[in-house]
Amino acid sequence: MGAHAPLGREPDPAQAAEARAALVREIEAGGAFEDDPAWREVFQAVPRHLFVPYYYVSSTGAYERLWGEDPDPVRRARWLRGAYADAPLATRVRDGELVSSSSQPSLMARMLLELDVGDGARHDVLEIGAGTGYNAALLAHRLGDEHVTTVDLDPDITEAARQHLRAAGYRPAVVTGDGAAGCPQRAPFDRIIATCALDAVPRAWLAQCRPGARVLAPLATGLIALRVTDAEHAEGRFLHTPAYFVPLRGGSGRTRPEQHIGGLPRRALQSELFRFLLELTAGSLDPYEALALWQRERRPVRERFGVTISGPYEWAWLDDPEGPYAWPL
């Protein structure tokens, strides 16, 4: 368990505590703590504002910076409210492009629940995408610093995450490196959680997992939950939860070709589930073939899709890994 320490000019403790309690109540109302109430205490204990000393809000096509050191008390209050809103926060913008963010807390809670760390053995967890360090702090509070490793390609991001974690009283391993390569020096792991979008699951992750490990990662605007059998085999299904994350940068960055979707029915394009199918089959299925499949299978939900990794092959499928509908990733 970590103790809290101040970072710069602290907001009023009562206001921060009240805002944090309101956030926890909002997450709880959405049902994210039902199956594992211990996460409620974790979110109540870890102060999110220490991990977002500044962030950016989109305003008329540009980004406006809010920060906790602003001399204007009104803007400081606005920063604190935003820090405890159940919303993603843009934390790093370069040349107008978002490169890092703090995820929506309720989505983080659902992902941590699906990671299934339990209350028994202390699982060793690898997080891909350090971000602000907030998610690593939540894991460290639950599991202990020594069981958590977070990795990011950008040294500026990892250094900031390290500072935030120390300010909040947590010291998990923060590693600068290509997340697609995992973190072999800290392996093996029982759980891997990615907080960045993938095109395919890096094979290096499987080799760094213990048998039976669980991998949870954003893929094609969904969340795939894989059970690892060994260094060359894993399989699992998508969760029902939609997920939109900043793409993984490095060895397995997003490289799928742009799809030409002109002429597709507007009703289909407005469906989040159809866009998921388009993303999942990009480069493998023509968009019009994807549309025919979507209509023939009566608009299949995410949970009907899955991913299998076997040796050098990795494919997505509908209903059955060996069935008629499968696409290489």
- pTM metric for this prediction: 0.92
Active centre residues (catalytic): 100
* Token pair of 251 as six digits: 């060895």
**d(C-alpha 180, C-alpha 250), whole Å:** 7
Where does the pLDDT of residue 6 fall: very low under 50, low under 70, confident under 90, or very high at 90 and above? Answer: very low
Read off the pLDDT of each residue in 117-140 and give the average, rounded to a whole number: 91
Rounded CA-CA distance 164/91 in Å is: 13
Cα-based distances in Å from 282 to 63, 205, 244, 259: 31, 23, 16, 7
Preceding amide of 242 cis, omega within 30: no
The arithmetic mean of pLDDT across residues 237-251, rounded, is 87
Q: What tens digit of pLDDT does each residue of 288-329 get?
A: 999 999 999 999 999 999 999 999 999 999 999 999 999 999
Model confidence at 121: pLDDT above 50: yes
Return phi, psi of residue 158, to 5°. Answer: -70, -35
Q: Is the per-residue pLDDT at 8 higher than 70? A: no
DSSP secondary structure of 171-199? --EEEES-GGG--GGG--EEEEEE-SBBS
Residue range 125-135: mean pLDDT, rounded = 97
Instruction: Say yes or no to pLDDT of 274 above 90.
Output: yes
The DSSP result for 230-266, as a single string, is ETTEEEEEE-S-----PBP-STT---PPPP--TTS-H
b/e per residue, 154-176, with b = 16+ CB within 10 A?
beebbebbbbbbbbbbbebbbbb
| Separation between Cα atoms, residue 327 and residue 310, nearest integer Å | 14
Q: Where are the domains of the chain?
A: 266-328
Amino acid at 30: G
Report residue 120's pLDDT band, with 50, 70 and 90 as the boundaries.
Answer: low
163-217 residue pLDDT tens: 999 999 999 999 999 999 999 999 999 999 999 999 999 999 999 999 999 999 9
* pLDDT exceeds cutoff 90 at 63: no
